[in-house]
C-alpha cells in the first residue's frame, strides 16, 4: 500500500493507543463544537423565546434522534467499505464505493424527507407533546426534516474523508459552521424575530455550508477520492454491500431512538417543567458524552482499516487502548459535572427556575456517574460495525430500546422524573451485557477467517 499523505492517517501501522488518540482528537473537538452549538442554540431559545419554546424544541429531541440519527447512521455505514478498501490498498474499489454511496444517499434522502414531512404533526401528537409546546415543536422539527438531504450531503462526504484517516478537515469545517450557526441564531431569533423556525433554519443553513466545504476539499485535496469514467457506473453489488453496512447502522440508531421516543412521551406527560428540565439536562450531558461518542466513532474507521489489512491483533490492542482512554475520561467527567452542572443548567433559564434546575441537576449527576457503561457501548459497538458485523450492533440497539421502553412504561409512571434520569444508564448496562461477549465472539471469528485465508494463499503460492 502506498504511503499515506500527511492529510491521511494509516491506522494499520504504529501504536494503536497513539493512533486512536491522534485520530479521535479532531473528532472529539468536532463533537464538542457541535454540542457547544446545540448548547448555545438551546440557550438562545430559552432566553429569547421562553420556557414553552425551550420545551417545544426539547420535545423534538427523541424524534430528531430517530430520523436524523438513522440518516447519520446510514452515512457512517456507507463509509465503512471505503475505510476497508483504503486499508486493503484497493483505490479503484474505494472510489466505486464512494460513487454508489452518493446514489444511495440521493434515493434515501428523498424518500425519508417526503415521508417524515407529511406525518410530522401526527408524530408529535402521538408522542403527547404538551399543547403549550406542540406548535413550537412542529415549526422547529419540520424545517430540520426539510434539511435531511443536506444532512446526507455533509455526513456522506465527511464520513468518506474520515475513512481515509483525515479527521482534521471535517473538524475545521464543523468549527466554521458552528460559528456560522450561532451567528445565524442570533440574527434569525433576536434580530429578525423568526422564533424556533429561525433556530432550525440556522441549523440547516450552517450544515449546508459544511457540505459545500467538504465538496471543495475533496476536489482540491483528495485525488484518491476523484471518481472518474466507469467508476461512476451504478454497481448493484457495491450498493448491496453499502446497504448491508449502512442500513443496520441506521437502524441501530433508530431502534435505540424508538425507546427514546417512548421515554420522551412519558416525560411529556409530566408537564412543561419536566420537559424543559430534561431538555437542559440532555444538552449538559451531551457536552460530556460527545467525547465518548467521538472515541467510539473512531473505532469504526480503525476497525475497518485494520480488517482490510488483516490485522486482528491490532483490532484487539486498539479496543483495549480505547477502553482505557474512555474510562479515564469518564472519571474526570463525573468529577467535573459535580461542580459545573448547576451553573451550566442556569444558562437555559431567562429567570430563576428552581424546580427545573433541581430536576436537571439530578439528571446530569446520575448520567455522568454511569459514563463508563457508555464507553463500552460505543467502543465495542462501533468496532464491531467497522469489521462488518452490523447485525450485532442492531441487537445492541434493541437492548437499549427495551431498557428505555421499560423506563417509559413502568419506571417513570412509578418514580416520576427519577425514572427518566436512570433510563439511559439502564439502557447502556443492558447493551453492554450483550456487546461484551459479542466482541469476543467477533474477534475470535475474524482471527480464524484470516488464518484460513492466509493458509489458502500459501497453498496456492506453493502450487
Per residue in 105-160, pLDDT tens? 999 999 989 988 888 888 777 766 767 667 778 878 888 888 899 988 988 898 88
| Cα(401)–Cα(426) distance, integer angstroms | 10
Ranges 330-339, 402-411, 425-434: which has the least confidence: 402-411
- Position 460 pLDDT exceeds 50: no
Q: Could you tell me what percentage of the chain is helix, strand and coil, using 3-state DSSP and rounding each to the nearest 5?
A: 85, 0, 15
Provide the grid cell at 454. Answer: 492466509
Alpha helices in 222-311 (DSSP H): 236-269, 272-308
The residue-averaged pLDDT of 377-386 equals 88
Q: How confident is the model at residue 184 (pLDDT cuts 50, 70, 90)?
A: confident
Is 189 in a helix, a strand, or coil? Answer: helix
pTM above 0.75, yes or no: no
| Cα(371)–Cα(6) distance, integer angstroms | 34
Phi, psi values for residue 178, rounded to 5°: -65, -45
The residue-averaged pLDDT of 181-196 equals 80
- Position 104 pLDDT exceeds 70: yes
Task: Considering only residues 257 and 82, tell me which one the structure prediction assigns the higher pLDDT.
Answer: 82
Contact 379, 295 (CB under 8 A): yes
For residue 3, what is the DSSP state?
Answer: P
CA torsion, points 341, 411, 401, 393, in degrees to nearest 10? 60
The residue-averaged pLDDT of 296-312 equals 82
Task: Considering only residues 253 and 111, tell me which one the structure prediction assigns the higher pLDDT.
Answer: 111
- Position 280 pLDDT exceeds 70: yes
> How much is the pLDDT for 459?
38
Contacts of residue 384, defined as CB under 8 A and 6 or more positions apart, other chains included, come to: 303, 390, 392, 393, 435, 438, 439, 442
| Cα(235)–Cα(247) distance, integer angstroms | 17
Decide: residue 397, CB within 10 A, 0-12 exposed, 13-18 middle, 19+ buried.
buried
- Position 21 pLDDT exceeds 60: yes
| Cα(283)–Cα(43) distance, integer angstroms | 10
CA torsion, points 158, 161, 165, 171, in degrees to nearest 10? -40
**CA atoms in the 13 A half-sphere facing the CB of 206:** 25
The residues spanned by each domain of the chain are: 16-452
Q: Where are the extended beta strands (E) located within 60-202?
A: none
Q: How confident is the model at residue 435 (pLDDT cuts 50, 70, 90)?
A: very high
- Rounded to a whole number of angstroms, the distance between the first and last alpha carbons of the chain is 26
**CA atoms in the 13 A half-sphere facing the CB of 413:** 7
> How much is the pLDDT for 456?
41
Task: Considering only residues 319 and 460, tell me which one the structure prediction assigns the higher pLDDT.
Answer: 319
Contact 291, 28 (CB under 8 A): yes
The total number of residues shown for the chain amounts to 463
> How much is the pLDDT for 38?
67
**Nearest in space to 387 (alpha carbons), one of 455, 312, 297, 440:** 312
| Cα(22)–Cα(18) distance, integer angstroms | 6
| Cα(282)–Cα(378) distance, integer angstroms | 18
For residue 166, what is the DSSP state?
Answer: -
| Cα(280)–Cα(179) distance, integer angstroms | 21
Contact 132, 96 (CB under 8 A): no
- Position 463 pLDDT exceeds 50: no
DSSP output for 316-370: HHHHHHHHHHHHHHHHHHHHHHHHHHHHHHHTT-SS--HHHHHHHHHHHHHHHTT
| Cα(391)–Cα(398) distance, integer angstroms | 11
Task: Considering only residues 421 and 252, tell me which one the structure prediction assigns the higher pLDDT.
Answer: 421
| Cα(103)–Cα(97) distance, integer angstroms | 10
| Cα(247)–Cα(74) distance, integer angstroms | 6
> How much is the pLDDT for 397?
78
Amino acid at each position: 500500500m502506498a504511503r499515506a499523505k500527511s492529510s491521511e492517517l494509516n491506522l494499520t501501522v504504529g501504536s494503536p493507543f497513539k493512533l486512536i488518540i491522534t485520530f479521535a482528537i479532531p473528532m472529539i473537538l468536532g463533537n464538542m463544537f457541535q454540542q457547544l452549538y446545540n448548547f448555545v442554540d438551546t440557550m438562545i431559545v430559552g432566553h429569547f423565546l421562553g420556557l414553552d419554546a425551550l420545551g417545544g424544541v426539547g420535545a423534538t429531541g427523541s424524534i430528531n434522534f430517530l430520523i436524523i440519527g438513522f440518516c447519520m447512521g446510514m452515512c457512517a455505514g456507507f463509509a465503512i467499505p471505503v475505510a476497508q478498501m483504503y486499508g486493503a490498498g484497493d483505490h479503484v474499489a474505494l472510489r466505486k464505493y464512494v460513487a454508489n454511496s452518493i446514489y444511495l444517499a440521493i434515493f434515501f434522502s428523498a424518500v425519508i424527507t417526503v415521508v417524515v414531512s407529511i406525518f410530522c404533526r401526527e408524530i408529535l401528537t402521538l408522542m403527547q407533546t404538551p399543547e403549550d409546546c406542540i406548535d413550537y415543536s412542529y415549526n422547529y422539527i419540520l424545517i430540520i426534516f426539510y434539511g435531511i438531504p443536506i444532512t446526507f450531503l455533509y455526513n456522506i462526504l465527511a464520513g468518506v474523508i474520515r475513512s481515509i484517516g483525515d479527521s482534521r478537515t471535517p473538524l475545521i469545517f464543523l468549527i466554521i459552521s458552528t460559528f456560522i450557526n450561532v451567528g445565524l441564531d442570533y440574527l434569525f431569533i433576536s434580530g429578525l424575530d423568526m422564533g424556533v423556525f429561525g433556530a432550525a433554519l440556522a441549523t440547516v443553513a450552517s450544515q449546508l455550508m459544511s457540505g459545500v466545504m467538504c465538496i471543495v476539499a475533496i476536489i482540491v485535496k483528495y485525488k484518491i477520492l476523484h471518481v472518474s469514467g466507469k467508476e461512476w457506473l451504478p454497481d448493484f453489488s457495491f450498493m448491496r454491500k453499502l446497504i448491508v453496512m449502512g442500513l443496520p447502522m441506521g437502524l441501530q440508531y433508530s431502534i435505540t431512538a424508538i425507546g427514546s421516543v417512548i421515554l420522551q412521551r412519558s416525560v411529556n406527560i409530566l408537564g412543561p417543567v419536566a420537559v424543559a428540565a430534561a431538555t437542559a439536562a440532555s444538552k449538559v450531558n451531551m457536552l460530556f458524552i460527545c467525547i465518548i461518542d467521538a472515541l467510539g466513532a473512531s473505532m469504526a474507521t480503525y476497525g475497518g482499516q485494520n480488517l482490510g489489512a488483516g490485522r486482528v491483533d491490532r483490532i484487539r490492542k486498539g479496543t483495549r487502548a480505547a477502553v482505557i482512554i474512555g474510562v479515564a475520561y469518564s472519571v474526570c467527567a463525573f468529577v467535573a459535572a459535580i461542580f459545573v452542572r448547576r451553573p451550566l443548567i442556569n444558562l437555559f433559564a431567562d429567570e430563576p427556575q428552581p424546580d427545573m434546575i433541581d430536576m436537571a441537576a439530578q439528571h446530569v449527576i446520575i448520567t455522568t456517574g454511569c459514563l463508563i457503561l457508555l464507553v463500552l457501548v460505543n467502543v465495542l459497538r462501533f468496532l464491531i460495525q467497522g469489521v462488518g458485523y452490523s447485525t450485532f450492533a442492531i441487537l445492541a440497539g434493541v437492548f437499549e430500546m427495551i431498557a428505555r421502553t421499560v423506563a417509559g412504561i413502568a419506571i417513570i409512571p412509578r418514580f416520576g422524573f427519577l425514572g427518566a434520569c436512570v433510563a439511559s444508564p439502564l439502557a447502556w448496562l443492558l447493551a453492554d451485557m450483550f456487546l461484551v461477549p459479542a466482541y469476543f465472539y467477533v474477534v475470535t471469528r475474524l482471527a480464524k477467517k484470516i488464518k484460513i485465508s492466509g493458509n489458502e494463499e500459501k497453498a496456492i503460492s506453493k502450487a
